[in-house]
Amino acid sequence: MRKLINQLLLEDKLLKTTAVITTLIVVYLSLKPPESDSESWSIFFIRGDLFLHFICYFGLSILYYLALLNYEKVVIKTLILSVFIGFILEILQLIPIFHRFFDVQDLIANFFGAIAGIFLIRFLFSHSFKD
């Protein structure tokens, strides 16, 4: 079973396609105008949207890591790609047409989500990628 999983990971067309589609979904969700009746919510006194940013970039970094598994310096490339996408999307929110706003806390949540995803995939499951 382990060899089958490694083979699927190394054939990476499915993972790369999934990464591109997921990135497009994140771009859409990040730039679509907010609903007018949306209420703010929080978890443990932290804005709920920060948890969404964290979870989103946590998942993106895991997906990018798996999609770029065959490349050298995969951790660096994954981190740069995740953080770059988060940064560009926050900068684009400065454009009035999107009816969104730039938030440094969102950038921080994106960064920590990307780091946490890389740590999880790299340190908890690193034995699965060897053979």
Residue 3's CB is within 10 A of a number of other CB atoms, namely 8
Give residue 95's pLDDT: 87
Sign of CA pseudo-dihedral 99, 48, 79, 25: negative
Give residue 131's pLDDT: 39
Q: What percent of the chain has pLDDT over 90?
A: 35
Question: What is the pTM for the complete model shown?
Answer: 0.81
Question: Is 118 inside any structural domain?
Answer: yes
Tell me the chain's radius of gyration from C-alpha atoms.
16
Question: Is 38 inside any structural domain?
Answer: no
Q: Which residue has the higher pLDDT, 85 or 8?
A: 85
Question: Is 6 inside any structural domain?
Answer: yes
Question: Is 88 inside any structural domain?
Answer: yes
**Residue range of the domain that includes 86:** 2-31+44-129
**Is residue 92 within 8 Å of residue 31, measured between CB atoms?**
yes
Question: Is 39 inside any structural domain?
Answer: no
Average pLDDT over residues 93-104: 86
| Angstrom distance (rounded) from CA 93 to CA 64 | 23
Give residue 123's pLDDT: 79
Question: Is 61 inside any structural domain?
Answer: yes
How many structural domains are present in the chain?
A: 1
Question: Is 20 inside any structural domain?
Answer: yes
Question: Is 120 inside any structural domain?
Answer: yes
Instruction: Provide the 3-class DSSP secondary structure of residue 97.
Output: helix
The single residue listed with the structure tokens 């790369």 is: 16
pLDDT digits (tens, 9 = 90+) for 54-81: 999 999 999 998 888 777 888 889 999 9
| Angstrom distance (rounded) from CA 79 to CA 89 | 16
